Structure 1
Amino acid sequence: MTAVARTARAVSGAVLIGGLVCTVAACGTGTSTSPEAQTAPGRVRDAWPEPASYAYTLRSSEGERSLLGTFRISVRDGAVVKAVGLDALGRRSVESSPDAVPTLGELLAELEQARRDDADTAEAEYAADGHPVRIVLDWEENAVDDEARYVITAYEPANGHAGDLTGPRPGT
């Protein structure tokens, strides 16, 4: 009977230690880089309900993409209705490829596609409300110019606001 009691204690001790290790390991999966941002590099983020209308500022950099620069983007009914280049690269990008300017939903779809394709890097940071604030993609670590880095700022859901949300915002 003592052998059974020792075995039961050993098993319950191992389970307790295993549970503690898993709990501590889970604590490190979502490090915060700012009070409102949350990192989720290895897992799919809960679906963010993209509003039909909103505006945001996008800084797109890295690689040889058709969309480089900083932009103020207005989305209505799920489609980009206005994009203004806020720097020289952004103005050139909008002039040469106006259809390449994405909605936040399209950026998130690109992130999910990179994850499905097993890209070497497919990471995102999210604001407290769930919209992305940073997306970093690199399909092949040793390939040149296949990276993408998107920084999203000045996000404003329309909430029935009929005003023009496309103008540059102070401090963005």
Structure 2
Amino acid sequence: MTAVSRPTRAVFSASLIGGLLCAVTACGAETAKGTSAHSRTTWLEPAAYTYTLRSSEGERTLIGTFRITVRDGAVVKAVGLDDSGRRVAQDIPDAVPTLGELLEELEQARRDDADVAEAEYAADGHPVRISLDWEKNAIDDEALYVISAYRPIGDQGDGRSH
């Protein structure tokens, strides 16, 4: 075990606290549309919901527009709404993500120091746009996810919120 002097620990602790304060302060930044552009959301993924995803940019597996139903943290139904979406939903349905998985991808991009790892959030905290670009100068490593028509599903499983 390496010995660490008290001054070193104090500097580390102060840096850590300062970093946390900066992160917490940034979480309140709002854009003109009422969405947070760069902050980590406090939104909790519900047990069941539906949403529409338009995924574009780059040469990624997940390109197209989808209507997605999620239950218990897993996609239970994905319907392609365009030719690309239909191909993905039919050929590789496991590639269609939950909102939680999209947020995990965003956080991984941030941990990997991607050149762009940004999100915008709705007033209730769910993501409405996630933009990723691992290397600005690389071609086809971008991803753009636009989320719309998000709706939690009520306990009855009938697609209505209760």
TM-score band by shorter chain is 0.7 to 0.9
Equivalent in the alignment of 2:20: none
CA RMSD of aligned residues (A): 1.8
Flag structure 1 segments of 5+ consecutive residues without an equivalent.
1-25, 166-172
Q: 2:157 aligns with which of 162, 167, 170?
A: 162
Aligned length: 135
**1:5-44 matches, cutoff 5 A:** 30-34=29-33, 37-41=34-38, 43=39
CA contact (8 A) 1:63 1:148 kept: yes
Deviation of 1:53 (Å): 0.4
> In 1, distance between residues paired with 2:53 and 2:41?
22
Query: Do the aligned partners of 1:59 and 1:69 also contact (CA within 8 Å) in 2?
Result: yes
| TM-score, normalising length: structure 2 | 0.78
Answer yes or no: is the 8 Å Cα contact 1:33–1:39 preserved in 2: no
Residue equivalent to 1:108: 103
* 8 A Cα contact 2:153 2:159, kept in partner: no
TM-score (normalised: structure 1): 0.73
Q: Given that residues 54 and 146 in structure 2 are in contact (C-alpha distance below 8 angstroms), is that contact kept between their aligned partners in structure 1?
A: yes
Contact conserved, 1:67 with 1:97, CA < 8 A, in 2? no
Which structure 2 segments of 5+ residues have no match? Answer: 1-24
1:31 Cα shift? 4.1
Is the aligned partner of 1:141 residue 2:140?
A: no
| Among candidates 34, 48, 53, match of residue 53 of structure 1 | 48
Question: Aligned pair 1:132/2:145, yes or no?
Answer: no
In structure 2, the CA distance between the partners of 1:93 and 1:79, relative to structure 1 (3 Å rule), is same
